[in-house]
Every structure is written in structure tokens, then in C-alpha cells.
Amino acid sequence: MTNPILSDWTTPFEIAPFAEISDDDFSPALQQAMQAHNAQIDAIADNAEPPSFANTIEALEAAGEQMDKVLSVFFTVAGADSNPKREELQREFSPRLSAHFSGISSNKALFRRVADLWARKDELSLTDEQARVLMLTHRGFVRAGAALEGDEDSRMQEIKARLASLGTSFTQNLLADERDWFMDLSEDDLEGLPDFVVSAARAAGEEKGVDGPVVTLSRSLIVPFLQFSPRRDLRETAYRAWTARGANGGEADNREIAAEILELREERAKLLGYSSFADYKLETEMARTPNRVRDLLMQVWEPAKTRADTDAEVLTAMMREDGVNGPLEAWDWRYYAEKRRKAEHDLDEAALKPYLQLDRMIEASFACANRLFGLEFAPLDVPLYHPDCRAWEVSRNGQHIAVFIGDYFARGSKRSGAWCSAMRSQAKFPKVQAPIVINVCNFAKGDPALLSYDDARTLFHEFGHALHQMLSNVTYESISGTSVARDFVELPSQLYEHWLEVPEVLAEFATHAETSEPMPQEMLEKVLKAANFDQGFQTVEYVASALVDLAFHEGAAPADPMTKQAEVLAEIGMPQAIGMRHATPHFAHVFAGDGYSSGYYSYMWSEVMDADAFAAFEEAGGAFDPERAKALEENILSTGGSREAEDLYLAFRGRLPGVEALLKGRGLIAA
């Protein structure tokens, strides 16, 4: 019987046939796909014909179709709808996949063919895109250790395999802590909480199989609980549990895993001739060097900390008025900041939230994409991996562009955070394929589902990533969509957040859940005026995490990452009442894989550009200026990684921005 993962998918737009796939299909499918991929690689490496772009680079681009099918399905469900079997498979697959891809990158015969082409690149009459793919392929082999020999080569394979296993363990430990902890709430404990928090707590209790409301470690529930609960003791309990994820002792503790990961990364970088892992990692990014990253972060840190210190004095005074002595603590900040926001801006999130319905915010994100890029969205009725998921066909001028899948609600089987991934990336070689893109979020369920303003920004953010995938228009999959420098990949997503703040967008789509009335003009103005509220706190918690990440990787690996974290925070003068956005034991961006290691700064780097890029619209005909939208698509959204990120931004804007636009955008300096 044909494995449904590897069969021809006859579903609409060849979406994975989730309803036909069982967990027992994954392991045999992966085994068969790896064998097929290895045979393809061997055929390329052992080709008797002299190396050419077609028989080597394009052949590599075309190889691995079965692998793509298996991994796109498996990693989608493992991240968004895990279960014990899928967790077991992740642990099994991690070293197998590491060995498989390490075997390709260390294939000496294959590397000789790539190196030969690289040496003759000027003689090959390549298109600009082909030249870029050749460069990236050659660079990828070198950075993976293909030029290493003997013991160094063997050690590199061992390191990569161990890092893959450690990253999987880190992720699963974090998921276990997030899934297993919850705090029961009595009816009295609900006092002072707005209806939407109570509703979310009751829904969470049902999901946990508990007879009553609970607080879980889902950000969409714990943050509003910390904002609104007048019970300081309960806030402390919840906050301590939230920040202790990955550091609770026992089998799910991530601290020793983090230490070993850092040690192995340093060794990996040294084997490749770099002085530190940060030097290795940043070489291919826009920032290039650790010093440039630190310079950016510190330019932002100083005004952010000054603002946060001033805000802390105000919040402490409010706490005193409530008769609470002692210092302002981290579990106090959000509560008193919310009270302050209500007092200073007369903006009550409980009153605001009914105007931010999930369905209406999805409509808003689609409508902006329609006005900017002519995209149209039609619901699709197709089986997906979970009942919460929804799908749309994306078209333009009657032509199919992509399939978009949204998976919006928090559940215990889903890892925390929000992300965008392509189950299939856009390409024209070896065949034309339209992308299948998925946004995964962790919003609280409700009837209807209501978002915080931060949730709504997250929705727009992830949809910005989706647009980068959907509007991609390149030949080769390896440079498609979001296959760009890490500190450039957040530009389209963070830029798209700005359209949520366009008054006419909120005026049309921010309608009340019960009355359908549009958000009152007075409230709309308050929302926009309060957009930069508490930016000292938000910037400090982010930049502190980015500085710790950089410090972990720019020198010798710390024997005790927790001690190093404390040293960095003390050195920069971290305010006592603000915690890192991601402390080391639950810093999945950095330790679940290499993606954001030495690269958590990239959100800030991209924000420097996104503030300046949106200003380009405002300087032209406004947020929906057609010429600017066309320039954005042509120079950034459609180009993938076909050119250097800096060149793409220069083509769009004509210059590179300074940090001032970011500081003004966050309200940390005068506009």
C-alpha cells in the first residue's frame, strides 16, 4: 500500500491529505524519502560529465522532493498539534536528519563539483539569479564544513548531530512545562478580571479537563491575567511559573542543555576558523559583525532604560497609593501599567477588546493586502490537521497565487509563540509551484474570539511573513520567499504591522462583537495615541534578551549560562521590575535551533528599516500609495534572497536608514 505522505496528492492545490495520514506513516515515509534523496545526491556527485550549473546546482535544487513532502507535513503537526507519539518521532528524527544532511554537506565528490563551478563562475554565462544560487550553494557547503578533512570533518558531523538532538530536547522540555502547569482559580479569584479573561480562563479549564477556570502559561492568557488581576499573590505565583519554564529541575530542565549547546557552537565555529560563533553566524547577515549589533542595541538601550526607570517611579507611586509597600516587582508592572494606561489615556483594554474580533482582524489583514497588492482571498473547504485551522485560496486577477492556512487558537498541543512557515515554497524550477503558507498563533478562544491590541499586531506581523512567501517570484526554491538574511526577514512582517494602525483600517474593521458598531472615533484616537504606551518596558525586555544572546556567542562559551545572564543584566543596569522577554531556559528562539542564535537582535535591526519603509508610504500618497506598494513588491516581497538584503532595501528606498526613525516610532525620543 502506498504511503499517503509519498503518494501523489490529488487534493485541491495538492494540499497535504492530512485526513489520510497517521503518525505511523511518518517514520517509513522518512526512511524512503532519505533513501531516494541519497540516490539523487549520489547521482549528482558521481556524474561522469564535467560539472555544469544544470547537472550540479540545478540538479541539487530539484533533488529531495519526497523529503520536502515528509518534513513539511511532520514539522507542521509536530509544532502546532503535538502528541506523545509525535514527540517521540521528533527525538527519533532529529539525529537521523542531522546525519542525513551532514552527509550531503560533507560529500567530498559533490563539494568538488560545486567548488569547480565556483572557481569558473565568470565563464559560465549565468543569469544574476543563477550566480546568486551558485554563491549561496558554495558558501553553504563551506560553512557546513565541507572543506574539513579527517578528524575535524568527523567531529563536525558529531557536533551537528548532537546540536540537533539538544535543540529537540530543549523544545520538548519547554512544551512539557507549558502544557503541564496551570493554576486553578476559584470564583472569588475571578474578581476584578474582565469578561474576556474570565471566558479565556474557563475555556482553558475545559481544555485541561478541569471543572473550573484556570490560568495556563499561554501568553494570550497569562499576560491579561497579570494585567488585570488585583490579587498580587496570584500574580506572583503565575509570573514565577511563567518565568521558570525550562528551569524547574528534573528531566525537563533546560539549563544544562543550554550550556552544552553554547559549548558545541563555539567548537563548531572554531573548527571553521572563526574566533567566535557570533562571528561565524553574523558573517552572512546585514549586520556582519558583533560590534555593529552591539552598537545598535546600545543606541536603543539607553533611551529605553531611561524611559523605563521614569515609568517605574510612577508605577511605584501608584502601588503605594494601594497600600503596598516594598519594591515594584515584575508581577506588578503589567497590572499598574494597565491602570496607568486607563487613567492617562482613558483606554480600557476590557472595553477595547470587543472591537478587536479575530475574524474582523483577519478580514482587515486581507483587505490591506487587496488594496496594496490586488490579492483576493476565498475560503477553502479542505481537510486540515486540526479543526481550528482555516484555509483560503489566494488569487490575483483570476490567477491562483497561493493557499493560505490560519491556525489561530492556543492549545496544549501547540508550542508557544507565533510563526509563519511554508508547507510548499514558490518556485519555477524544476516545475512551477505556488506556495502553501501557514500562520500559527496562540490566541485565546472565545465566542467570538477577541484579541488584545498586541494580539492584533501579532496577526498582522505573521501575515506580513505570509505575504513575503505568497508574493515570491523567483526561479529557485532555495532563494524563495523568506530565504533571506535573518536580520532582513523581519522587515516585511514588522512593516505590515503599521497597516493595523492606519485609522481608516481600524475605522472599518474594528467593530463591536455584539452591536457591530464601529469603534467610536474617540476610542480610535485613544488607541492610536496609546500605541507607544509602555515602550520603555517593552523595549527593555526585548533588548536585554538580545544582548544576552549576543554575549553568549561572541566570546568563550560560558560554563554556566545563568551566571552569564546575570552578569550581562547587571552590567547594563537591568531594571529590577522588568524581566527578560525570554530568559535562557525558555529562550526557544536561540536554543531550539540555530535560527536566531546570535540573531535575536534581528527584530530590532529590521525595525530600523520598517519604520523608515513605512515613512516612504507616508511621504508619498499615504499608507496605500500604489507606487510605493509596487516598489515594495518588486524590490522586496517578490525577490526572496535573489540579491543581498542591503541592495534590496536600497532599491526600494534609495538609502539606508538610521536608528532615529525607530526611536521616534517607539516614542523614546521626540518626533
What does each C-alpha distance from 499 to 169, 189, 491, 611, 614 come to in angstroms?
38, 38, 14, 12, 9
Task: Please write the tens of the pLDDT for every residue from 532-581.
Answer: 899 999 999 999 999 999 999 999 999 999 999 999 999 999 999 999 99
To the query of whether residue 363 is one of the catalytic residues in this protein, the response is no
pLDDT tens for 197-253 read 999 999 999 999 999 999 999 999 999 999 999 999 999 999 999 999 999 999 999
Which H helix or E strand runs over 250? none
- Give residue 464's pLDDT: 98
Q: Give the pLDDT of residue 552.
A: 98
- 402 neighbors 366 (Cβ within 8 angstroms): no
One-letter amino acid for residue 444 of the chain: A
Listing DSSP states for 515-579 in one string gives T-PBPPHHHHHHHHHGGGTTHHHHHHHHHHHHHHHHHHHSSSPPS-HHHHHHHHHHHHT--TT--
**Which cell numbers hold the place of 456?**
492584533
**Torsion angle defined by CA atoms of residues 199, 205, 209 and 210, in that order, rounded to the nearest 10 degrees:** -120
Task: Note the residue count of the chain.
Answer: 671
b/e for 490-523, b at 16 or more Cβ within 10 A? bbbbbbbbbbbbbeebbeebbbbbeeeebbeeeb
User: Distance between CA 104 and CA 430 in Å, rounded?
Assistant: 20
Estimate the crossing angle of helix 535-553 against helix 602-619, to 10 degrees: 130
> What pLDDT shows up at residue 670?
80
Angle at 227 between CA 226 and CA 230, to 5 degrees: 75
| Neighbouring-strand partners of residue 394 | 377, 402
Domains in the chain, ordered, with CATH?
12-147 (1.20.1050.40), 181-245 (no CATH), 354-485+499-514 (1.10.1370.40)
Whether 671 shows a pLDDT value over 80: the answer reads no
Smallest CA-to-CA distance from 174 within 629, 640, 589, 610 is with 589
How many Å apart are CA 410 and CA 388, to the nearest integer?
10
Instruction: Convert the pLDDT of each residue in 454-500 to its tens digit.
Output: 999 999 999 999 999 999 999 999 999 999 999 999 999 999 999 99
Q: Which residues pair with 409 in a beta bridge?
A: 443
> Which pLDDT tens digit goes with each residue over 283-321?
999 999 999 999 999 999 999 999 999 999 999 999 999
CA distance 470 to 441: 18
The one-character DSSP state at 412 is: T
| Residue 9 confidence class, pLDDT cut points 50, 70, 90 | very high
User: For all residues of the chain together, what is the average pLDDT?
Assistant: 96
Q: What is the pLDDT of residues 111-126, one digit of tens each?
A: 999 999 999 999 999 9
Q: Is 598 a residue whose pLDDT tops 90?
A: yes
pLDDT at 532: 87
Strand order through the sheet with 436-443: 376-380, 390-396, 399-409, 436-443, 419-424
62-86: b or e for each residue (b if 16 or more CB lie within 10 Å)? Answer: bbbebbbbbbbbbebbbbbbbeeeb
pLDDT band at 619 (very low <50, low <70, confident <90, very high): very high
What is the sign, positive or negative, of the torsion defined by CA atoms of 450, 454, 457, 461?
A: negative
pLDDT value at position 422? 98
d(CA 36, CA 30) in angstroms, rounded, equals 10
pLDDT of 1 over the 90 cut: no
H/E element, 669: none
pLDDT digits (tens, 9 = 90+) for 39-61: 999 999 999 999 999 999 999 99
Name the β-bridge partners of 377.
Answer: 394
Provide mean pLDDT across the span 392-397: 98
Residue 66 near residue 6, CB atoms below 8 Å: yes
Q: What's the rounded mean pLDDT across residues 371-385?
A: 97
User: What would the mean pLDDT of 23-39 be, rounded to a whole number?
Assistant: 98
- Strand 376-380 and strand 214-216: pairing? unpaired
Q: If you write DSSP's letter for every residue of 256-319 in order, what string do you get?
A: HHHHHHHHHHHHHHHHTT-SSHHHHHHTTSSS-SHHHHHHHHHHHHHHHHHHHHHHHHHHHHHH
- Of 58, 462, 490, 541, the catalytic one is 462
Burial of residue 475 (number of CB atoms within 10 Å: 0-12, 13-18, 19+): buried
- For the chain, the distance separating the N- and C-terminal CA atoms, rounded to the nearest angstrom, is 66
Which of 472, 459, 495, 445 is CA-nearest to residue 366?
A: 459
Contact call for residues 486 and 455 (beta carbons, < 8 A): no
What does the pLDDT look like over 185-194, one tens digit per residue? Answer: 999 999 999 9
